[in-house]
Structure 1
Amino acid sequence: MGFDQARVNRIFRPETYAEDVPYGLFRELRAEAPVWWVEESAVGEWPAGPGYWAVLRHADVKQVLRSPEDFSSHLGATQIRDPDSPADLAFARTMMLNQDPPDHSRLRRAVAAAFTPRALHELTAVVERRAAELVAAIRPLGEADFVPVAADLPVRTLARILGVPDQDRQLLVDWSNRVIGYQDPEYARSSTADPARLTETGRAALAHRPTTVTTPDGRPLNPRSRAALADMFGYAHALAEQPPPGSMVARMLEAGLSTGEFETMFFLFAVAGNETLRNGLPGALYSLLQHRDQYRELCRRPELIGSAVEELLRWWPPVLEFRRTATRDVELAGQRIPAGDKVVVYHASANRDESVFPAADRLDLTRTPNDHVSFGFGPHFCVGARLARIQMTTLLRRIVTELPGLELAPGPPPRRLVSNFQNGLKDLRVRWR
């Protein structure tokens, strides 16, 4: 293989994605081999890891995701970085995201029981009302940062799902910042929740927030550990003890989730349910405004919004990659992978695979079919994908139809999140007539 290992390793480094997703490098790597060995160098205060196999082609990504018997979510969890201790790994394994069938299937059924057609209909009405309010609030301004505008919609929707009072809504933002943005100093220790505005439950949770970022023996505190998120799990426990009557929380508990299982489900919803849209919506709008011909076509033909959302998800996948662990010695696309090795599937690379997407590096809002993997594939296909699509469709339709002449505002380009996991923007200033 004619690639320097240091160049291959760029796809691991978080700072790579602060500049842009390395689609050109992915394309070159795919052309030469479907699976590559990547070294995990130290990142800031985080130690080096053992390395992993990167899976870059669409067919192989789907093969890994649909084969939990060979590529487990449970053995080592689903983040590239290994949990720091056996206790951290045991904690991670309690989450639905980090389980394999049949345990994963049972938890998924309990969550799905809360998303009845009636519940989705009610949530759709909430989304439509809030999207209308958001656009009406900024319309007279002529210019705004779209990132906090977009972030408000999934947070309010999540608060409705989880039974979080409006006063405590900002806690959801803070928790997801700490978990997802831990590689970005601007996000890692941010806190915007005002204790004076919180409910009694919110203030009680905040009192348990860790005051140190290291463990007693001096190691960096894993941002996804129970110790680092004691305030969030305390809040989830209080919700499970007294769920709002008739809420989706109550329905999940009635469907068989234990209090402990609900606490880890709260973690998943509060982070994944927030960040997917918080990254996907600004990324979609930024992509549109960088491709003026496609933006004008959508303005002219608003009926394209359905296929446009799918193409924008392909073009700007909110999640860049996910990790699995080989359960046995296995061969993937001609590459032998030993049992216990990490295997990381790159959604961002698979979504630009030329063998599946003709003219893959061209944004085409009329593209159909569109077999992107931005919501995953197989047993772990995103349980909230339908709701995410509803939110993206609703807000983008209003933005495009109610803010005429939309364009990027003059000034420095948007800043990207420092993360090799989430494909995010930290700001996106836009203006309109």
Structure 2
Amino acid sequence: MERAADVPDVFDPRVYAEGIPHERYRLLRDRHPVAWQTEPEIRGWPAGPGFWAVTRHADVVRVLRDHGTYSSWAGATQIRDPDPADLPFLRSTMLNQDPPGHGRLRRLVARAFTPARVDAFAARTRDRARTLLAAARDRAEDGSTDLVSAVTDEYALLNLTDLLGVPPADRALLLEWTVRIIGYQDPDDAPEPVLGPDGTPLNPRSPALLGEMFGYARELAAHKRAHPGEDVMTVLAQAGLAPAELEMFFFLLTVAGNDTVRSAAPGGLLALARHPDAYRRLADGSAPPDRVVDELLRVHPPVLSFRRTAARDTVLAGTRIRAGDKVVVFHASANHDERAFADPDRLDPARTPNPHVSFGDGPHVCLGAHFARLQLRTLYEEWRTALPAPELAGPPRRLVSNFINGITRLPLRVSGPPA
């Protein structure tokens, strides 16, 4: 099937290097809320069969909640089809399962993410934000610094490794693995692709490329069984998981847990720099910090898209979908749907209600959402205490990706009195 001439392309990862394509999303929501997209070959990654792009808020929520019709298990959750030989392995992660198997795994690990357990890290998270922001200010050249390299990458990584219970000496490994897995579409952010026997690039999520991470997960779990602590890896090590389930949980938490805040934190600061009135309301306390966090998540969701596969023939927004078709929801579009949000292009720091889907919906809603919100709220609160209002000191650079809404460079001014 070919993409219709009046249907804009929202698949090409290079589109997102220029920013979220809001005008393209708007055209799809208004005219083609379930639109066929082609998957041409890009940067050596082979062409795919195409998929249905879902862009309205109500339809996105419907897809995410209806696991019986729109399956995570059938084809995994990335737009690009996995190697069929890898699919059974990928299904061992909670992300790529449907209820009831998904619920079993989620319940096993949910007690590691209770609000009380997460809130126990609040003081440590605040100290880290304060220390990193002060260091960025003190080391700034010409009064500005790249917040991604100076603050947000390390902030997200160290908070996650505290929660997981990863020893300090091993923490850089998690960032290396995250960059390798998340940045594979970006020619400046990704390592050279590893080719398989047929000469095509291996998917970065292929088990053939994850052996180092999985070996580390097994060693860390064995250490936690012998030396338990108050951390997530101890919970996983004691949960009776199969080896593949343990490895894939570590993979999921390392990548998703790190990159959620790693993407959202600079995205939120960029939004505040571009909307000084919203920042003033955060700084003077007239907008509650929790609402500010959710509004920044709405305008800069960490994840741009997620895939499901139709488990049976169905109809969505008047469009017939066949069993086996790929169905991809676009979070950034849903978050700007005029049908769900009043004046969606305005950053309203006190917006309520705010039913954004930046952490998903349905059975797969983000397990670490509370921890992510805690980190983001703390970072913004410490910024307003120690630093001037966010102001761009140069052009930001965005990740080339149709999956992660990443900022890879964010020059901001950090010298001057707090606003």
Q: Superposition pairs for residues 293-332 of structure 1, below 5 Å?
A: 293-301=277-285, 304-332=288-316
SS of equivalent residue, structure 2 residue 412: strand
Distance in 2 separating the partners of 1:219 and 1:33: 33
- 1:408 to 2:385 alignment: no
Partner of 2:91: 93
Q: Superposition pairs for residues 97-116 of structure 1, below 5 Å?
A: 97-116=95-114
**Deviations 1:27-85 (Å, cap 9, x if unpaired)?**
1111113211111111111111000011110000000000000000000000000002x
Greater CA drift, 60-69 or 28-37: 28-37
Partner of 1:166: 168
Partner of 2:210: 229
Q: Superposition pairs for residues 31-430 of structure 1, below 5 Å?
A: 31-84=30-83, 86-140=84-138, 141=140, 142-148=143-149, 149-189=151-191, 213-243=194-224, 244-246=227-229, 247-301=231-285, 304-409=288-393, 411=394, 413-430=395-412
RMSD: 1.7
Distance in 2 separating the partners of 1:74 and 1:372: 24
Distance in 2 separating the partners of 1:133 and 1:420: 33
Distance in 2 separating the partners of 1:52 and 1:332: 13
Greater CA drift, 295-304 or 75-84: 295-304
**Contact 1:350–1:373 (CA<8 Å) still a contact in 2?**
yes
Greater CA drift, 337-346 or 238-247: 238-247
Distance in 1 separating the partners of 2:274 and 2:287: 21
Instruction: Tell me the CA shift for residue 129 of structure 1.
Output: 1.9
**Deviations 1:205-253 (Å, cap 9, x if unpaired)?**
xxxxxxx711123221111111111111111111122214123212223
Greater CA drift, 132-141 or 275-284: 132-141
Query: Do the aligned partners of residues 41 and 177 (structure 1) sit closer, same or farther apart at CA in structure 2, a change above 3 Å counting?
Result: same
Instruction: Tell me the CA shift for residue 114 of structure 1.
Output: 1.6
**Contact 2:48–2:80 (CA<8 Å) still a contact in 1?**
yes
**Contact 1:147–1:425 (CA<8 Å) still a contact in 2?**
yes
Instruction: Tell me the CA shift for residue 10 of structure 1.
Output: 2.1
**Contact 2:36–2:53 (CA<8 Å) still a contact in 1?**
yes
Partner of 2:7: 8
How high is the TM-score relative to the length of structure 2?
A: 0.94
Distance in 1 separating the partners of 2:270 and 2:237: 39
Instruction: Tell me the CA shift for residue 117 of structure 1.
Output: 4.5
Instruction: Tell me the CA shift for residue 125 of structure 1.
Output: 2.4
Query: Do the aligned partners of residues 414 and 117 (structure 1) sit closer, same or farther apart at CA in structure 2, a change above 3 Å counting?
Result: closer
Instruction: Tell me the CA shift for residue 4 of structure 1.
Output: 7.3
**Deviations 1:236-290 (Å, cap 9, x if unpaired)?**
1111222141232122232332332111000001101111111100000001101
Q: How many residues align?
A: 407
**Contact 2:126–2:382 (CA<8 Å) still a contact in 1?**
no
Instruction: Tell me the CA shift for residue 394 of structure 1.
Output: 0.2
**Contact 2:60–2:330 (CA<8 Å) still a contact in 1?**
yes
Distance in 2 separating the partners of 1:178 and 1:280: 19
SS of equivalent residue, structure 2 residue 49: coil
How high is the TM-score relative to the length of structure 1?
A: 0.91
Distance in 2 separating the partners of 1:290 and 1:303: 17
Distance in 2 separating the partners of 1:8 and 1:69: 28
**Contact 2:307–2:327 (CA<8 Å) still a contact in 1?**
yes
Distance in 1 separating the partners of 2:22 and 2:282: 25
Instruction: Tell me the CA shift for residue 317 of structure 1.
Output: 0.7
SS of equivalent residue, structure 1 residue 242: helix
Distance in 1 separating the partners of 2:6 and 2:324: 25
**Contact 2:164–2:233 (CA<8 Å) still a contact in 1?**
yes
* Residue type of the alignment partner of 2:161: A
SS of equivalent residue, structure 2 residue 342: coil
Distance in 2 separating the partners of 1:34 and 1:19: 23
Q: Which runs of 5+ in 1 are unaligned?
A: 191-211
**Contact 1:34–1:333 (CA<8 Å) still a contact in 2?**
yes
Greater CA drift, 121-130 or 163-172: 121-130
Distance in 1 separating the partners of 2:361 and 2:178: 23
Distance in 2 separating the partners of 1:152 and 1:302: 30
* Residue type of the alignment partner of 2:202: L
Partner of 2:413: 431
Query: Do the aligned partners of residues 117 and 357 (structure 1) sit closer, same or farther apart at CA in structure 2, a change above 3 Å counting?
Result: closer
Distance in 2 separating the partners of 1:389 and 1:7: 39
Greater CA drift, 341-350 or 125-134: 125-134
**Contact 2:3–2:36 (CA<8 Å) still a contact in 1?**
no
Distance in 1 separating the partners of 2:216 and 2:239: 21
